[in-house]
């Protein structure tokens, strides 16, 4: 049987205040994210049982559930890792250079990323597109609609209302601004380097 688990936050629940409240972080991680882990495990178990029984009734729905819940688990895990109390600076090194090459400047990238965040019904992502060998901003609705085949997430911003409404009300843009106060580019930089090493 499947046994995906929710990792603990990489910092205390109040560590991102005042940008993300302890209450929101606790709800979001402990309850909301846990739901995706549980959903993924349940869907995988359904598929395993169906294979053993030779009965595919319900398999299509379980496959969709795997896609939705696994994407939710993976993206939320990246979201927690992309932030830290020491965040707030701009990217440096190879990732900074690649952003400037692919978008013209860091400021141009950030403006486009913020546009993605304002429009998404789910996530704004910076991904490394292994097919085109370039960075791209991506609008992903829910967790899996609008994703790019061969796109490897580098930076993930959750803009579902549960991420910000308690703290910011309908002012999503204020939450996006706050995200940049806690972004820690060390982990995204490592993720970018791994993708480039594998695919270029």
Question: Would you list which residues are annotated within the binding site for Mn(2+)?
Answer: 28, 76, 158, 162
Task: List the binding residues.
Answer: 28, 76, 158, 162
Using only the alpha carbons of the chain, give its radius of gyration.
18
Token output for 100: 């400037």
- Quick one: CA dihedral 114, 119, 122, 126, positive or negative? negative
H or E element, residue 126: strand 122-129
∠ CA(68), CA(95), CA(113), 5° rounding?
50
Residues 150, 164: Cα–Cα separation, whole Å = 29
Q: What DSSP element (H or E) covers 130?
A: none
Question: Is residue 61 packed enough to be buried (19+ CB in 10 Å), middle (13-18) or exposed (0-12)?
Answer: exposed
């Amino acid at each position: 049987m499947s046994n995906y688990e929710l990792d603990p936050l990489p910092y205390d629940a109040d560590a991102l205040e005042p940008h993300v409240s302890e209450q929101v972080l606790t709800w979001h991680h402990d309850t909301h994210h846990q739901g995706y882990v549980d959903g993924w495990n349940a869907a995988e178990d359904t598929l395993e049982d169906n294979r053993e029984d030779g009965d595919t009734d319900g398999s299509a729905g379980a496959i969709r559930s795997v896609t939705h819940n696994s994407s939710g688990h993976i993206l939320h895990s990246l979201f927690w890792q992309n932030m830290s109390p020491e965040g707030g600076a701009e990217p440096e090194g190879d990732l900074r250079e690649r952003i400037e090459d692919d978008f013209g400047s860091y400021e141009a990238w950030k403006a486009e990323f913020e546009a993605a965040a304002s429009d998404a019904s789910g996530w704004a992502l910076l991904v490394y597109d292994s097919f085109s060998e370039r960075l791209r901003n991506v609008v992903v609705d829910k967790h899996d609609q609008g994703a790019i085949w061969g796109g490897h997430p580098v930076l993930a911003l959750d803009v579902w209302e549960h991420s910000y409404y308690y703290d910011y009300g309908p002012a999503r843009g204020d939450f996006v601004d706050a995200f940049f106060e806690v972004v820690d580019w060390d982990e995204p930089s490592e993720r970018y380097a791994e993708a480039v090493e594998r695919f270029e």
